[in-house]
Structure 1
Amino acid sequence: MNATILHHDGPGLPEITLAEGLESPAALAPESEHPDDRISLIEDGRTIACASLWWTEAPPLEGERVGCIGGFAARDGKATAILLEAAEQRLREAGCTLAIGPMNGNTWRRHRYVIESSARGPFLLEPRNPVNYPGWWRASGYRELSRYSSSAMPLDGSSVVAPALKARLERSGLIIRPLHADRYDDELRAIHAISLRSFANNFLYTPLEEEGFLDAYRKVKDRVDPDLVRIAEKDSKPCGFVFAIADLEAAARGEKPALIVKTLAVDPESRCAGLGSLLVDEVHRLGREKGFTEAIHALQHETNTSLKITGRHQGTPIRRYALFSKSL
C-alpha cells in the first residue's frame, strides 16, 4: 500500500477528501472534544483511515498512563493496521503505556463497539459501528478491556420491589417526583451532583464539569418527557434519579418505540437500600401507563449492580459491546 500518515494537532480541521463510505473526522470527533492529535492515512489524495487521540485528560487506570484512540474510521483491515500502529507510536511518544479505544477521550463521549447483536435495529443514544471494526482492531493486537450490554424486557405491570421495602423507604421521608421542566437547568445540576457521587468508582470514570453536563442534556431537552425522569428526594434533598426516554429512532422507522432506561444513579450517602429498584419500577409503571409495552435497559457495564435489577425484570440481552486495549 502506497499510503502516507499525516498528523494534525492544531486548531481547526484541514480540508480532506474522504474515501467512499468514510465519515468525516469532524463528525466522528468534533473540535469541542479537544483531541490532542489527529492522524489520517492518505492514499492517492484520499483519506482511507483516520483517528483522533487523547492523552492529556485521559481516564485514570491504576499502573498505567492511558491514551485514547477514538474518532476512528477505516476503509479496510490493512488501513486499520497501519493507522493504529501510527496512533500507538504517537501515544508512546506522549508517555502512554496503554491504548484504549474506541473512546473519544472519556466515557461521557462516544466509546465502545457493538460486538454482538440481535436483528433488532439500533436504538436512540446507542453506539453503532461497521460490523468489521472490532475484528480489524483484534487483528491489530487489541483485546477486550471491558464489556457492556443492553437488554429488553416487557412492560407487563410486574414489580420487583416488595411492598414492605417501598413502605420502609416512604416512612424514611423519601418521595419520588418527575423532573420539573420549568426549572430544567436546576434539575440538571441536581442530577449532575448525584451522578458525580454515584459514578465516582465506576471503571475508567472521569468527572464531567457541570457546564459540559448541562450542554449535553440541553441538546435533548425537546425529546425529554419530564414524567419519565424520576427524581428521588429525602428530606427535600435529591438523592437518586432514573432517566428514561422514548426510542425515537424506532418511531422514525415506523416501529413501536421502547422505553429506554438510559441512566440510573443513587447517592451512596443516602443510605436508601432498594432505591434503585424502586426508581426503575416507578419509571416502568409510568411508561406502561403511557402506552409503552417494552423497556430497554441500556449500556450496562458487566460489573454494574443495576444488572441485578435487569435480571429481576427478566431482561434479555439484545446487544453486547466492548472497549478494547493494547499495551504500548
Structure 2
Amino acid sequence: MNHSDIRFYPSSDIPPLPLLEGLPSPDELAPMSEMPDGRIFLLNAQGQAVAHTALWWNHTPCLEGNEVGAIGGFAALGEIEAVALLEAAVKELQAQGVQKVVGPMNGNTWRRYRYIAESTGRGPFLLEPRNPASYPEWWRAAGFHEIAAYSSSTILLDGQPTVADALKKRLLKSGLTIRPIDLNRYEEELRAIYTICLKSFASNFLYTPLSEEGFLGAYRKLKDRIDAELVKIVERDGVACGFVFAIADLEAAARGEKPALIIKTLAVDPEARCPGLGSVLVDEVQMLGYQKGFSTALHVLQFDDNNVRRITTRHHGETFRRYSLFAR
C-alpha cells in the first residue's frame, strides 16, 4: 500500500465511502455525537475502505501535564492494514501538536475505551466493551504499549457480610443514611449521582469532566432495566455523598444463562470523609442481591490500582477478563 491509499477527513467533511464487506461502519464505532475531530480511512485499489479510525485532539484528557491525542472507533480487516492506519493516525495527531497518543479511546474515558486483552472465555456482560482478539497485538505491532490495565472479576455470593457491623454502625451514627434510588424522581436522583461522580473520579487516570447532559443521557437508557433496591444512595443532612449502582446482567439472561449481579459503579465524595463507606455499600448490595436470587456478582472494568479493586480482593474475586489501554 502507498500513501495515496490514506484519506484524512475532518469530521464535518466526510464523503460517502464504500466499505469492504465485514468492516463495521464508522458511525457504529464512533458516532458523530461523540464529536471526533477527524477520521482516517485506508482504501484498497477499488476505493473501498479496508480500515478506518476516528481521532480526537481537542478537549481530550491530560497526561503528565499535556493533552493527549486519542484514537478510537478503530476497525481493520488485517494486521498490515491496521499498522498502516495507526501509523497514519499517529502522524496526523503529531501534526496537530500532540506529543502522546492514547487508544483505543473515543475521546475520553466516559465513552468506549480499552481492549479485552485476556479472557477465560466467559460470555460478555451488559455494557462490556467488545473487540476482535487480534486487535491488541495489531496495536503492539504498530509500536503501542500498554499504559493502563483493568480487570473484571467474579464474586461468589453467600449472603454473609464481609465488613464488621461496627463499621456500618459507626457510619450511620455519623449522620449517614442509606436508601434505594427513587425512580419516581429518577432525573433528580441522576443529577445528585452526577455531582458525586465529578468529585469522586476527579483524580482518576485520564479523567475529564463529562457534561451533565452527557451523563444523564447515558443513564436514562438504564431506567427500565434497574431494580431500585439495588441502587443505593448515601446522604448526610439531605445531601447525597455516595452511591453504588448495581444491575442484573441482562445480556447473560438473554443468552438463557442465570444472570450475575453487576456492580457497575461505586463512588464516594472524598469531601464526605467516610472511610469504609465503599466497602459497606458493596457489602449491602451484594447481600441484598443474594436474597433476590443472585449467586454471583461481577466487579467490572476496574483500574488495577484503586480502592474498588481492593474491595474485590477482600471478596476473593476471581479475574475472568483483563483489558488494556495503549499509548505511543
Aligned to 2:242: 240
C-alpha contact 1:13 1:26 (8 A) present in aligned 2: no
Sequence identity percentage? 60
Shift of 1:35: 0.4
Aligned to 1:127: 129
Q: Which runs of 5+ in 1 are unaligned?
A: none
Among 247, 255, 258, which residue is 2:257 paired with?
255
Aligned to 2:152: 150
Give the secondary-structure state (helix, strand or coil) at the position aligned to 2:184: helix
Normalised to the residue count of structure 2, the TM-score between the two structures is: 0.97
**What amino acid sits opposite 2:93 in the alignment?**
L
Shift of 1:13: 4.8
Pick which of 3-12 and 96-105 moved more: 3-12
Q: Deviations over 1:79-120 (max 9, x none)?
A: 011101110111011000011000000000000000010110
Aligned equivalents of 1:24, 1:37: Cα separation in 2: 15
Aligned equivalents of 1:21, 1:35: Cα separation in 2: 23
Pair 1:244–1:145, CA change in 2 (3 A): same
Shift of 1:158: 2.1
Aligned equivalents of 1:20, 1:278: Cα separation in 2: 50
**What amino acid sits opposite 1:29 in the alignment?**
A
Q: Which runs of 4+ in 1 moved over 3 A?
A: none
Among 104, 108, 115, which residue is 2:117 paired with?
115
Shift of 1:12: 6.6
Confirm whether residue 24 of structure 1 aligns to residue 51 of structure 2: no
Give the secondary-structure state (helix, strand or coil) at the position aligned to 1:39: strand
The 5-angstrom pairing of residues 127-276 of structure 1 reads 127-276=129-278
Normalised to the residue count of structure 1, the TM-score between the two structures is: 0.97
C-alpha contact 2:11 2:36 (8 A) present in aligned 1: no
Shift of 1:139: 0.6
Pair 1:250–1:112, CA change in 2 (3 A): same
Aligned to 2:7: 6
Q: Deviations over 1:99-158 (max 9, x none)?
A: 100000000000000001011011011111000000000011000000000000111112
Aligned to 2:42: 41
The 5-angstrom pairing of residues 300-315 of structure 1 reads 300-315=302-317
C-alpha contact 1:69 1:99 (8 A) present in aligned 2: yes
**What amino acid sits opposite 1:134 in the alignment?**
P
Give the secondary-structure state (helix, strand or coil) at the position aligned to 2:90: helix
C-alpha contact 2:159 2:291 (8 A) present in aligned 1: no
Shift of 1:64: 3.4
C-alpha contact 2:268 2:278 (8 A) present in aligned 1: yes
Shift of 1:230: 0.5
Pick which of 57-66 and 75-84 moved more: 57-66
**What amino acid sits opposite 1:25 in the alignment?**
P
C-alpha contact 1:65 1:95 (8 A) present in aligned 2: no
Q: Which runs of 5+ in 2 are unaligned?
A: none
**What amino acid sits opposite 1:15 in the alignment?**
P
Confirm whether residue 102 of structure 1 aligns to residue 118 of structure 2: no
Q: Deviations over 1:186-235 (max 9, x none)?
A: 00000000000000000000000111111111122211221111101112
Shift of 1:165: 0.7
